[in-house]
Amino acid sequence: MGHWIPLDSPHGRLQAWRAEPAGTPRGALVVVQEIFGVNAHVRTVAEGFALEGYLALAPAYFDSVEPGVELGYDAQGIARGRDLIAALGLERAVDITRAAADSLAGAGKVGSVGYCWGGTVALLAALRLGLPSVSYYGARNLPFLDEAPKAPVMFHFGERDASIPPEMVQAHRDRLPRMDVFTYPAGHGFNCDMRADYDPASARLARERTLDFFTRNLA
């Protein structure tokens, strides 16, 4: 199963959860956390991609602000997570994603996948770093949709996500017309089985589309 390793970044040494496939990797993925840290759910997500043949690395982005943060999916965890992402900032998150991707270069082509806050980091990884990426319910995407992408990106959104209204989803289609934008009859965080909005059918379909995306763009 996975294990913690050190990861050097422009913003200091972080920990990262590394999940290795059984055989030669099909490629590698930077798995970008939600606002709750690299908790049990994110580690399980990384291990799921390893079972599909990818070398997966989930950097503990918050380590550059405060080491060892793992938060719960409650009001206190949400408030603390929002404080931490504000302190970290997206520019530093992109730097850390680049460092993680560079560390995976020996495993073949590298992509990224991110959830919630990490969905926006994954979008920026495609736009700025050239990593084929999948963005799950990135509520902070809108300011970046006019940047020219350096790699393909796929989007997943819940149709009942109060933080991402339909007009915001449509903006992705209008401003990045060559990219796949999928919606599901679910709320925010539908991929996470530790959240109230978990929707197994939507999570399964989004995962199938995500794996197909990475087969086409990495393997």
Residues facing residue 17 across a β-bridge: 4, 58
Per-residue pLDDT of the chain (219 residues; tens, 9 = 90+): 799 999 999 999 999 999 999 999 999 999 999 999 999 999 999 999 999 999 999 999 999 999 999 999 999 999 999 999 999 999 999 999 999 999 999 999 999 999 999 999 999 999 999 999 999 999 999 999 999 999 999 999 999 999 999 999 999 999 999 999 999 999 999 999 999 999 999 999 999 999 999 999 997
Assess contact for 32 and 118: CB atoms under 8 A: yes
Assess contact for 145 and 164: CB atoms under 8 A: no
pTM of this structure: 0.98
- Rg over alpha carbons for the chain, rounded to the nearest Å, is 16
Q: How far apart are CA 47 and CA 168, in angstroms?
A: 31
* 83, two tokens: 């404080």
Tracing tokens 């060559």 back to the chain, one arrives at: 178
Domain 3-217 = CATH 3.20.20.70? no
* 157, two tokens: 């959104």
Which H, E and C letters describe 155-194, residue by residue?
A: EEEECCCCCCCHHHHHHHHHHCCCCCEEEECCCCCCCCCC
